[in-house]
Structure 1
Amino acid sequence: MATALRLSFRWVWWWAIVLMAGLVQAQAQPIQVTDDRGRTVLLPAPPQRVVSILPSLTETVCALQQCQRLVGVDRFSNWPAAVQALPQVGGGIDPNIEAIVALRPDVVLVATSSRGSERLEALGLKVVALEPKTHADVQRVLGTVARVLGLPPGDAQRLWHQIDAGVQAAAQSLPAGVRQTRVYFEVNRAPFAAGASSFIGETLTRLGAQNIVPAELGPFPKLNPEFVVRANPDVIMVGDRNFAGLTDRPGWSRIRAVSRGQMCVFSNQEADTIIRPGPRMAEGARLLADCLRRYAQP
């Protein structure tokens, strides 16, 4: 009987070794993705050291429960709070190439508009460029980041369903009067606006509001301030960092939203939540819904 037990133990031990070897081999499988530049990026194994130079990508990594893989972020990444303790490597327009290289990343996540990608690749680093601008883009980028990290597709799918359900819940919480509300959302004081085809515009549409900036002008068009005067929105939405001087623009005192004081000025933290196309989109939708509820037509 003792001999049989020893043999049984050996078989169990042998199968455990085989299973562990298979798991390690599966984890070390090469990963291939196509980024938003149309470039194919081949990673020899799931990256354990990740640098992110776009806040929405930083948030996506963390929302996929992989924050521990981040070793560096851009200066604007501030959520979740833990990433604020990581080394900062500049921003999209001024990445600190030396600092990034010094962190020895397995992959660098950047926006397609980021500078320095070619330089990083020339230095031998793997670069994946992603820049979501619509709801569909956010869903796609979630899946791409999950693949880059070697995660099963279900992780990204579950996260997207949570985001989408949160946006829908915000929409269902609003009264019918919101559908008569014409909205202008200013992203930057240039002024750049969130058009109907942007992810912010799509959220506003799902909430029932009418965006004064039509889809044909593009996701985030730069406008002539007179365009907003002529459109005469009922509600203006803007972040606090871009609010200074807005009401002093020529003719803007005649805009219905300004004359009636129907403006939502979001704190910097709230604005970050709203303008980042990523895992906090449902929270952003709730902030927009709270504003619309305040000024909804009876």
Structure 2
Amino acid sequence: MTGFRRLAALMMAAFALFTMVTACATRQHSPVPVVPDDPASSFPAKVSLPGGQPVTLLQQPKRIVSLSPSATETLFALGAGDQVIAVDQHSTYPENAPRTELSGFTADAAAVASKNPDLVIAPDNATQLAEGLKVVDVPVLLTPAAASLDDAYQQIQAIGRATGHGNQANAMVQKMRTDIADIVASTPKPPQPMTYFHEVSPDLYTATSQSFVGNVYSLFGMVNIADPAGGPFPQLSQEHVVQANPNLIFAADTKCCGVNAAAIAARPGWHTIDAVQRNQVVELDDDLASRWGPRVVELVRSVSKAVGKAQQG
């Protein structure tokens, strides 16, 4: 019996040790808990952007009005579309966004308040609107025009925090950074920097390197022929563009104004421009070229394609 008891004790000890090891292994290999994207613990939240007043949100907003096309695209990309009850007349993407006649430039507080919002996102020049909505306790997040990709990333993350989608916003920004870096790295580098002209409107308003779209072009080491004019959005003369003789022309007024490569080539004197002669006039989507939401990756891809084609031509 003594031997039997000793054997039983050893077997029980071995079983206990096996159980402990198995439990430890189970704990070590169990999946890491995933924090919900809009946890209740995220609120109250104080959200701010550089140069703007912080906005305090006591709980996750369920009735959002967006008066910024860039913000609208960001909201839907983050999965906050179900929280959006109204967007401005210029928010053309996505198609299912609830468009109204509201405008980020002219909307008054009464018109916006009639939508019964619990968060309004508007351009930073809508200060009068913000003051009016403050009276009725509607928080307004004012978003300045982005001048760089970093500005765009900050706004996406701020909108994510304000709507309870902070985790998703951080993941989106990381993916955008990675995708853009990969696109730029895979683009063939020309032997010398290419010059370009970015057309905003047929009367030759343009965007310099100080603008958001100019920051995108700078990723490829391109030289903007409008930079000597100063400011982010100067107006150039016909003579300036013809004499600068850019290697590439990007038309960002195709949807608004019907401009295309043929129309540009038909302008007096423009047939002598290198970009026209070498068929390097790129017709851009106006919206992609003027918004700083998640679709900026598509703009970067379009520029990359144009740079690669220009080196082959």
TM-score normalised over the length of structure 1: 0.79
Does the aligned pair in 2 maintain the 1:110–1:130 contact within 8 Å? yes
- Per the alignment, residue 187 of structure 1 pairs with 200
- Per the alignment, residue 85 of structure 2 pairs with 71
Kindly state the Cα deviation for residue 247 of structure 1 after the two structures are TM-superposed.
4.9
- Cα separation, partners in 2 of 1:91 and 1:25, compared to 1, 3 Å: closer
- Per the alignment, residue 124 of structure 2 pairs with 112
Point out where structure 1 has 5 or more consecutive residues left out of the alignment: 1-22
- Cα separation, partners in 2 of 1:71 and 1:40, compared to 1, 3 Å: same
- Per the alignment, residue 143 of structure 1 pairs with 157
- Per the alignment, residue 178 of structure 2 pairs with 165
Point out where structure 2 has 5 or more consecutive residues left out of the alignment: 1-37
Distance, in Å, in 2 between the alignment partners of 1:121 and 1:247 is: 51
The answer to whether residue 291 in structure 2 is matched with residue 276 in structure 1 is yes
- Cα separation, partners in 2 of 1:59 and 1:179, compared to 1, 3 Å: farther
- Cα separation, partners in 2 of 1:122 and 1:225, compared to 1, 3 Å: farther
AA at the equivalent of 1:119: G
- Per the alignment, residue 265 of structure 1 pairs with 283
Q: Secondary structure at the match of 2:190?
A: helix
Does the aligned pair in 2 maintain the 1:174–1:293 contact within 8 Å? yes
AA at the equivalent of 2:122: V
Kindly state the Cα deviation for residue 285 of structure 1 after the two structures are TM-superposed.
0.6
Kindly state the Cα deviation for residue 56 of structure 1 after the two structures are TM-superposed.
0.7
- Per the alignment, residue 47 of structure 2 pairs with 33
- The correspondence of residues 107-256 of structure 1 with structure 2, limited to 5 A, is 107-114=119-126, 116-131=129-144, 132-152=146-166, 154-177=167-190, 179-214=192-227, 217-239=230-252, 240=254, 241-242=256-257, 243=259, 246-247=264-265, 251-256=269-274
- Cα separation, partners in 2 of 1:238 and 1:95, compared to 1, 3 Å: same
Q: Secondary structure at the match of 2:121?
A: strand
Instruction: Please give the per-residue CA displacement for 1:245-295, whole angstroms capped at 9, x wherever unaligned.
Output: 6556554443322344421123xxx33123211111111111122222222
Identity of aligned residues (%): 27
Distance, in Å, in 2 between the alignment partners of 1:215 and 1:61 is: 37
Of 253-262 and 106-115, deviating more is 253-262
Distance, in Å, in 1 between the alignment partners of 2:302 and 2:250 is: 11
Kindly state the Cα deviation for residue 103 of structure 1 after the two structures are TM-superposed.
1.3
Kindly state the Cα deviation for residue 25 of structure 1 after the two structures are TM-superposed.
5.9
- Cα separation, partners in 2 of 1:225 and 1:93, compared to 1, 3 Å: farther
Kindly state the Cα deviation for residue 42 of structure 1 after the two structures are TM-superposed.
1.8
Of 142-151 and 188-197, deviating more is 188-197
Does the aligned pair in 1 maintain the 2:250–2:283 contact within 8 Å? yes
Does the aligned pair in 2 maintain the 1:166–1:283 contact within 8 Å? no
Does the aligned pair in 2 maintain the 1:32–1:41 contact within 8 Å? yes
Q: Which of the pair has more CA radius of gyration?
A: 2
Distance, in Å, in 2 between the alignment partners of 1:25 and 1:165 is: 30
Q: Which runs of 4+ in 1 moved over 6 A?
A: none
AA at the equivalent of 1:62: F
- Cα separation, partners in 2 of 1:97 and 1:202, compared to 1, 3 Å: same
- Per the alignment, residue 5 of structure 1 pairs with none
Give 1:94's match in structure 2, choosing from 90, 94, 106: 106
Does the aligned pair in 2 maintain the 1:72–1:89 contact within 8 Å? no
Does the aligned pair in 1 maintain the 2:44–2:59 contact within 8 Å? yes
What is the root-mean-square deviation of aligned Cα atoms in Å? Answer: 2.7
Of 91-100 and 283-292, deviating more is 91-100
Distance, in Å, in 2 between the alignment partners of 1:289 and 1:122 is: 48
Give 1:47's match in structure 2, choosing from 51, 61, 65: 61
Kindly state the Cα deviation for residue 50 of structure 1 after the two structures are TM-superposed.
0.6
TM-score normalised over the length of structure 2: 0.75
- Per the alignment, residue 20 of structure 2 pairs with none
Instruction: Please give the per-residue CA displacement for 1:1-33, whole angstroms capped at 9, x wherever unaligned.
Output: xxxxxxxxxxxxxxxxxxxxxx98625x32212
